[in-house]
Amino acid sequence: MRPPDTNEILLQVEGVALSFGGVRALKDVSLNVRKGEIRAIIGPNGAGKTSMLNVVNGFYHPDRGTITFKGRTRDRMQPFEAARGGIARTFQNVALFKGMSALDNIMAGRTLKVRRGLLWQVLRCGPALKEELEHRHRVEEIIDFLEIEAIRKVPVGRLPYGLQKRVELGRALAMEPDLLLLDEPMAGMNLEEKEDMSRFIVDVNNQYGTTIALIEHDMAVVMDLSDRVAVLDHGVKIADGTPDEVKNSQAVIEAYLGVAH
C-alpha cells in the first residue's frame, strides 16, 4: 500500500554541477524526492536529465554539490554503494543479459540480497537451496505482478522491445529498492505498451510504496503519472512543482517551444 503522503525527504540533491570537458551538463541544480512519490524530471534533449540520474546513482561524480540519501550526506557515491543503499535503476537503452532468460535476468536483481557465500551457492544444497527458493518465490511474485509468465523461460534477446523494458523493470524491482530510477521507461514504445508501462509504474508505487524518480520525454505520460515534476533545460532547473504548475510555467513553455529572438 502506498504510504500516506509525507513530506519526508528521501533524496536531496544540493547545488550539483557537472561538466564534461567544456560542456557544462549540470549547473548548480538542487532538487529533492519525497518518500512515496512519483517524481519526474523532464526537459528537452541535452537538458541534463540522464546526467542527473547518473549523479544520483553514482555513475558520475559531480564537480560540486552534495547528495543526501536516507539522511546520509556525501559528495560522491559509488554505483555499488547506491545499489546497496536501496537505489535501483533501469536504462534508456535496455541493459539486460541478452542470452539469459527473463527469469534469470530478474533473479540477477536479487544478487545483493543473497546471504550465503559463493561456495554454498555452487554446492546449491541445504541452506543455500532454501535461500534460492525464497528468492525465486519473490521473483515469481514480480513475474506475476508484471504479467510476464508466458516469457519466463525465453531468452530476453528474442523478446520484443516493450517486453524487454518490462523485464528490466522486473530486475530493478527484484532489488526491493527504496528509490527506483527509471530512465525513459517509455522511449520507443507504441501507445499500448506505454499504457501498460504507465499502469505498472503506478501499481509499483501503490502496491510496494516504492519511491520513483523517472525521466521521460513524453509530456502527456509524465503529467498523468507524476506527483511532482522538475524541468531541466541546458543544465539548469527552470521549474519545479505539480504537473499543473509546471504546465503553466512560462519558462517551460519557452524551453519546449522556443522563443522568438
Binding site for other proteins (CB under 8 A): 1, 136-137, 140-141, 143-145, 147, 149-150, 152, 203, 206-207
Of residues 123 and 150, the one with the C-beta less far from other proteins: 150
To other proteins, the closest distance from the beta carbon of 203 in angstroms equals 7
**For the range 131-136, what are the long-range contacts, defined as Cβ-Cβ under 8 Å and sequence gap of 24 or more?**
135/107, 135/110, 136/107
Helix (H, G, I), strand (E, B) or coil at 216: coil
Of residues 35 and 136, the one with the C-beta less far from other proteins: 136
Of residues 53 and 173, the one with the C-beta less far from other proteins: 173
Find, among 135, 185, 137, the residue nearest to 162 by Cα.
185
To other proteins, the closest distance from the beta carbon of 205 in angstroms equals 12
To other proteins, the closest distance from the beta carbon of 152 in angstroms equals 7
To other proteins, the closest distance from the beta carbon of 1 in angstroms equals 6
Helix (H, G, I), strand (E, B) or coil at 111: helix
To other proteins, the closest distance from the beta carbon of 150 in angstroms equals 4
Of residues 139 and 230, the one with the C-beta less far from other proteins: 139
Q: Which residues pair with 229 in a beta bridge?
A: 40, 241
To other proteins, the closest distance from the beta carbon of 260 in angstroms equals 36
Question: Do 35 and 6 form a contact (C-beta atoms < 8 A)?
Answer: yes
Find, among 237, 240, 187, 184, the residue nearest to 213 by Cα.
184
Using the structure block, give the residue that is written with the C-alpha cell 530510477: 181
Find, among 3, 47, 7, 10, the residue nearest to 25 by Cα.
47
DSSP 19: E
Of residues 41 and 143, the one with the C-beta less far from other proteins: 143
Nearest-10 crossing angle of helices 191-208, 126-145? 130
To other proteins, the closest distance from the beta carbon of 149 in angstroms equals 5
Of residues 23 and 150, the one with the C-beta less far from other proteins: 150
Of residues 115 and 137, the one with the C-beta less far from other proteins: 137
Residue type, 65: G
Using the structure block, give the residue that is written with the C-alpha cell 513524453: 218
Residue 118 in grid coordinates: 559463493
Within 10 A of 114 (CB to CB), how many other CB atoms are there? Answer: 15
